[in-house]
């Protein structure tokens, strides 16, 4: 019985060794050596660079979002308001302002992006006026199309 246990143990050891070589022998020479470590390090470096580039891209994209702009605007206002208040201070004021700015952005309240919303409403109103003028015969179809392009370009 003891001999069978030794054989099973040796078989398990051989299986683990073969599996380890199979998984870590990256250059296919049948052994795990410094060359395999170098290959693994190069792969890890490429992955780290790729991950860093993706994180930078996502960070830039997030910074351009209205949420980030509104939070930053709120932070500046909160910090400025809180400077004369010794209990709160500018750091805590900035945190409160950023939270309020983010909340307003997420709930659609008036924010830094409100200018875009107001501009869109102005464009809609102007297009309705142009359509009315066209229907009354004040503008020709060509004039209407030209003015419509101008409004939509802005």
Q: What is the DSSP string of 6-26?
A: HHHHHHHHHHHHHHHHHHH-T
Residue 73 reports pLDDT greater than 50:
yes
pLDDT value at position 11?
86
- At 111 the pLDDT is 45
Per-residue model confidence (pLDDT) at position 118: 53
Taking the model in full, what pTM does it have? 0.38
User: What's the N-to-C CA distance of the chain in angstroms?
Assistant: 88
What is the average pLDDT across 140-151?
87
Residue 113 above 60 pLDDT? no
Q: Is the pLDDT of residue 114 over 80?
A: no
How far apart CA 64 and CA 124 sit, in angstroms, is 25
pLDDT at 101 > cutoff 60:
yes
DSSP assignment, residue 87? Answer: T
Report the half-sphere exposure of 119 (CA within 13 A, side-chain side): 9
Classify residue 31 by its DSSP letter: S
Confidence at 69, pLDDT banded by 50, 70, 90: confident
Number of residues in the chain: 154
* Pick from 112, 130, 25: nearest CA to 76: 112
* pLDDT, position 117: 52
Q: Model confidence over 21-62: pLDDT tens digits?
A: 777 888 888 888 889 888 888 988 888 888 888 888 877 776
Q: Please provide the average confidence, as pLDDT, over all residues in the chain.
A: 79
Average pLDDT over residues 131-141: 86
Q: Are 79 and 93 in contact (CB under 8 A)?
A: yes
């Amino acid at each position: 019985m003891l001999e069978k246990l030794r054989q099973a143990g040796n078989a398990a050891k051989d299986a683990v060794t073969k599996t380890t070589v199979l998984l870590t022998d990256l250059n296919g020479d049948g052994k795990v050596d410094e060359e395999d470590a170098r290959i693994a390090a190069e792969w890890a470096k490429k992955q780290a660079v790729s991950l860093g580039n993706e994180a930078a891209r996502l960070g830039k994209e997030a910074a351009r979002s209205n949420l980030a702009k509104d939070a930053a605007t709120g932070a500046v206002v909160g910090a400025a308001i809180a400077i004369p208040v010794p209990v709160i201070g500018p750091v805590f004021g900035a945190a409160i302002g950023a939270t309020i700015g983010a909340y307003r952005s997420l709930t659609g309240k008036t924010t830094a992006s409100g200018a875009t919303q107001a501009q869109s409403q102005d464009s809609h109103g102007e297009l309705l006026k142009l359509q009315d003028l066209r229907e009354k015969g004040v503008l020709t179809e060509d004039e209407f199309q030209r003015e419509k392009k101008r409004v939509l370009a802005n």
